[in-house]
Each structure stands twice: as C-alpha cells, then as structure tokens.
Amino acid sequence: MPTPTRTPARRQPARRSHARRPPVRRRKPGWPTRVVTTLSVGVLASAGIAHAALTVLDGGISRINPFGDMKDRPAAGHGTNILLVGTDGRDKVTEKERQAFRLGGTPCHCTDTIMIVHISEDRERATVVSLPRDTYTEVAAHADPATGAQHPAHPLRLNAAYAEGGPSLTVRTVEDMTHLKIDHYMEVDFITFMKTVNVLGGVRVCTPQPLKDRFTGLNLPAGTHVLGGGQALQYVRSRHVDGASDLGRMQRQQKFLAALIDRATSSGVLLNPMKLRDVTRAVLGSVRADQGFGTDELLDLGRAMRNFSPRSSEFATVPIGQMTFQVKDFGSTVKWDDPKARALFQSLRDDKPLAPSRPKTKSPTVVSVDVPPQQIQVQVENGTPTEGLGRRVDDGLSASGFHTTRRPANATDRSVRRTVVVYDPRWDRSAKSLAAALPGSELRPTPGQGPTLKVIAGTDFTQVQRVKVAEPQNPEQVVTGDQVVCP
C-alpha cells in the first residue's frame, strides 16, 4: 500500500514475522547522537516562542524523505517513534578541532549511533533505546541511491545500512528488526553536537573511574567534570576506556543525554528566550529531518516538554544475546536476544514504560566513588572551638564505612573554616573518595603523610555524605535519567 511521508502516531500496531540476519562494514570510532535536537526545539515551543518564529527556524532544517518508497510498513502504535542517528560527518569541523579532539581520518559515511526515541502518547515520558551499531542484520533488496543499481538482500552490520542506502534503508532495516513504525527521522553530525553542548555552557558528568582513550584523546580523572562540546564529543565517542567496548560507550551516551536534559531543564535555559534561540539555531544548522517534522510537530513537542525532567526519561539498550556472533566470511557481530528484544519493542508499541515504577519520595543520595570506604584509614581532628565536632565527624565517617581511628583529636589550629583532607599523593584516589563524603572539603596533598588520611573538621561541616563504589551497569538494566545524572 502507498506510504505517506507523514503518518499518524496513535493506531494499533500490526504484527509481522521476522527473521534475524547479518552485517558488513569495518568498525570505526563512533560518536553518539543525542536527543538534543528534539529537546532544544521542544523547549523553545514550551517557552512560548511564537508559531511564526518556529516556522522560520523550521525553514532552516535540511529536509529529506526517508519514507517515500517504503511499502508494507508496520502499523503505527500509540505515541511517537523518532529514529535518531548520529553520523560521522565532519565536513564543517575546523583543522584545530580535528587535531584537538582526534577527528581526523576518513569518515565511513555510516551511522555511529542509532537510537529510537519513543515519546509517550500522554507526552509525559520519553524512552530512549540504543541499538548497537554492529548489530547483525540483513538489509532488504534495494536500489543504490546514487547510481540506481539494484542490490539483493544480504547480510550487513546495522550501521552500514546508511552507507549503502541512506536514511531510507536505515529506517526500513530498523522497522524490519523492531516491528515499530518510525514516525520521524532525525540525523545529527559532529558539528551539531559540539555546538549544542557549547551553547548550553557545557554539561556536567561524573565518573568514579579515570577514563582514558588513546583513540579519541579522552583523558578524564575520576570525579565531576563540566565538558565543553569537543571534550563531550570525546566522552561519547570513546569505546576503549574499559572492557565493555560499545556497550560501555552506549551507557555513557545515555548518561550524557540524561545530564544534557538535566542541564537544559534546570539551568534557566528554558526561561531565557534568547538562549533558547541560540540553542535551537546551533542544532538546526546541521540537522537533517524528515519532511513531516515541521512547525506543528515542534509545538506539540514543546507542549509535551513543559514539565519534562530527567525523571521523565528512561534509557535502555536492546537486549544482547551474543556480543561476538561470528558470521562466515563476515566476522564478529552483535546478535540480539530475540525473545527479550521482542518484549521490549512490544512495550514500546503498547506505549508502556520500561523502567519499573518507583515511589516519588526521594531516597537518600549516595555518591559513587572509586575506592571503597572500608579500604580507607582516617584520623579525624577538630579544627574548630566547637566541642564534640571531631567525634561527630568520626562517627559519621565510621557509619559510612570508613576505617576511622575512633579517637578524634584536637587540631593545632582551632580556627579552620573549611574542612581539609590531608593525604599522601600516593593515596590520591582514596583522598578523592574521602573528600566526596565531605562535600566542600579541601584536598591538601602532603608527601610523607602515609596511608592514613587526616580530616581536619572546619566550621563548614554539616554532615557526612553517603558514598559507595559504583557498580557496573547491567547492559539490560533500564534506568531513568535521575538515576544516572550527577548527584
């Protein structure tokens, strides 16, 4: 049946049979595309920017038609499904940026990141599902968009569908695999991502472990960092910082997206029309979208995002059956866990949340640290005239798991205002974990201090912050944005 370029998003889905399939392109360091585009234009509308102004911005979007020749598509379900892809396009990247952020090399003209963004029908929830770029699939027979030459169905890695058949083949392949109807398509490149992060003033991320990747140039010590556009691009592209490879990278992409939403919804950007205009211009200057994603859709998203927050978003990765599924004459690919993947996409078709419901009462915040408190020896001293303060600090640290001497003493200087953590540089990771339990404290390296760290309590002390070692995220775990942003 003929397929319109714009499709309704609130009908019951049809079920189709599907056979699992294989891939064909070389791996390249990827980058993550973000829901920044959807977020930015949405918040513009939610802030009350006039319809005429949005129409002007809408006119700046580069338009494509990824749905034109597609037939036998899944029926639309409830809510709206946006296929968001990040390409490795770097035509507008300056030479300085290429060198600073390791953006050299030849682009593969493929999709380094592929996400399905599902906006619920009641416009109160956004679900982001990451699809591994090395997913084993089989693209349908198609014509080469440049030459018109016909290609039979054949094995391919999911990210290479874009190189062979552009947005149309990418959409068609994702629909075949998920049985979800894609209502809208958005495509972002390197420069869009960097501009958007910069115009927001950077995005805050937390890492309990140092992150270093010689391929992207990422080099972050453990702790909290505000990343500008180029450094953020390194963060979300890196896949050589641990043994988790692409799965770890997708989890970092999801955390970054949650942090981006937190930044945009809590920093006053929504209340500043000029800032919103700058964000939107930065995004729309390089984005490509389907012809049906116009002013009305932007206004609809804006209304949806008025009460948006990190808790309104949830993030998941399609369940994996085999991370190194070998295909003859083709190599290693990623194969989905078919039963679990079907259940996940059925939930999206039914417009159901993936994350388990949680009470809205806020549980005590626990900060992730690099070194377990139980491995850290601490001597507490009272640096104030307040009697008993040293005992309070010692008790609090001990209750949080730190190995204190249980014999707090008085410091030589009793006029300390800011709590100090004195440490031997050889135990710097332990010192950072201890400082995380004492918000606002000063780190003071002192060679020769030895393995026992010293805390000199100041008048600024209020309470000990609970800390724990971060546990690796289960690849199949569904998280909401407020669970992964910095505390």
Q: The domain that contains 156 carries what CATH number? A: 3.40.630.190
pLDDT of residue 7: 41
Question: pLDDT tens-digit profile of 395-420?
Answer: 999 999 999 999 999 999 999 999 99
Q: What average pLDDT does range 274-289 have in this prediction?
A: 68
Q: Which helix (H) or strand (E) holds 206?
A: strand 203-207
> Are 342 and 218 contained in the same domain?
yes
**Other C-beta atoms lying within 10 Å of the C-beta of residue 48:** 10
Contact call for residues 219 and 212 (beta carbons, < 8 A): yes
> Are 68 and 81 contained in the same domain?
yes
pLDDT of residue 1: 42
> Are 464 and 480 contained in the same domain?
no
- Please tell me which residue, 310 or 480, carries the higher pLDDT value: 480
> Are 232 and 329 contained in the same domain?
yes
pLDDT of residue 241: 75
- Structure confidence at residue 61 as a pLDDT band (50, 70, 90): confident
- Structure confidence at residue 335 as a pLDDT band (50, 70, 90): very high
Question: pLDDT tens-digit profile of 159-189?
Answer: 889 888 889 999 999 999 999 999 999 888 7
Ranking 107-111, 258-262, 447-451, 455-459 by mean pLDDT, the lowest is 107-111
Q: Residue 78 has what DSSP assignment?
A: S
> Are 478 and 459 contained in the same domain?
no
Domain-embedded: residue 14: no
Nearest-10 Cα torsion for 119, 121, 124, 129: -30
- Structure confidence at residue 282 as a pLDDT band (50, 70, 90): low
Domain-embedded: residue 355: yes
- Computed over every residue of the chain, the mean pLDDT equals 79
Q: What is the distance in angstroms between the CA of the first residue and the CA of the last residue of the chain? A: 51
User: What is the number of structural domains in the chain?
Assistant: 2
Q: Whole-angstrom Cα distance, residue 323 to residue 253? A: 19
pLDDT of residue 256: 85
Q: What average pLDDT does range 14-43 have in this prediction?
A: 41
Domain-embedded: residue 29: no
Helix residue spans in 316-406 (DSSP H)? 338-349, 389-399
| Residue 270, CA atoms < 13 Å, CB-side half-sphere | 21
Single-letter amino acid, residue 28: K
Burial of residue 184 (number of CB atoms within 10 Å: 0-12, 13-18, 19+): buried
Domain-embedded: residue 24: no
pLDDT of residue 35: 45
Question: pLDDT tens-digit profile of 338-361?
Answer: 999 999 999 999 999 998 776 555
> Are 193 and 319 contained in the same domain?
yes
> Are 334 and 428 contained in the same domain?
no
Question: pLDDT tens-digit profile of 446-460?
Answer: 999 999 999 999 999
pLDDT of residue 110: 66
Domain-embedded: residue 331: yes
Residue 107 has pLDDT above 80, yes or no: no
> Are 380 and 241 contained in the same domain?
no
Domain-embedded: residue 19: no
pLDDT of residue 347: 94
Residue 92 has pLDDT above 90, yes or no: no
Domain-embedded: residue 59: yes
The residue ranges of DSSP E strands in 297-445, in sequence order, are 313-317, 320-327, 331-336, 367-369, 377-382, 403-404, 409-410, 420-423, 442-445
- Please tell me which residue, 451 or 2, carries the higher pLDDT value: 451
pLDDT of residue 48: 46
Ranking 21-30, 173-182, 306-315 by mean pLDDT, the lowest is 21-30
Burial of residue 384 (number of CB atoms within 10 Å: 0-12, 13-18, 19+): buried
Both tokens of 264, joined, read 């945009």
Q: What average pLDDT does range 224-245 have in this prediction?
A: 81
Residue tagged 């027979």 (tokens): 141
Q: What average pLDDT does range 85-102 have in this prediction?
A: 69
- Structure confidence at residue 286 as a pLDDT band (50, 70, 90): low
- Structure confidence at residue 12 as a pLDDT band (50, 70, 90): very low
Question: Which residue, 475, 470, 474, is CA-closest to 487?
Answer: 470
Domain-embedded: residue 120: yes
Helix residue spans in 200-272 (DSSP H)? 229-237, 245-266
> Are 344 and 465 contained in the same domain?
no
pLDDT of residue 306: 57
Question: pLDDT tens-digit profile of 180-228?
Answer: 999 999 888 777 778 778 888 888 888 877 888 888 888 888 788 999 9
Does the pTM surpass 0.75? The reply is no
Question: pLDDT tens-digit profile of 133-145?
Answer: 899 999 988 888 7
Residue 124 has pLDDT above 70, yes or no: yes
- Calculate the CA 238 to chain-centre distance: 12
> Are 392 and 479 contained in the same domain?
no
Q: What average pLDDT does range 265-294 have in this prediction?
A: 68
Contact call for residues 381 and 455 (beta carbons, < 8 A): yes
Question: pLDDT tens-digit profile of 357-380?
Answer: 765 555 567 787 888 999 999 999
Percent of the chain with pLDDT strictly greater than 70: 71
> Are 351 and 401 contained in the same domain?
no
- Structure confidence at residue 301 as a pLDDT band (50, 70, 90): low
Q: What average pLDDT does range 102-123 have in this prediction?
A: 76
pLDDT of residue 190: 72
> Are 65 and 104 contained in the same domain?
yes
- Please tell me which residue, 470 or 418, carries the higher pLDDT value: 418
Q: What angle do the packed helices 36-46 and 295-304 form, to 10 degrees?
A: 80
Full residue range of the structural domain in which residue 390 is found: 371-469
- Specify the CATH number for the domain of residue 458: 3.30.70
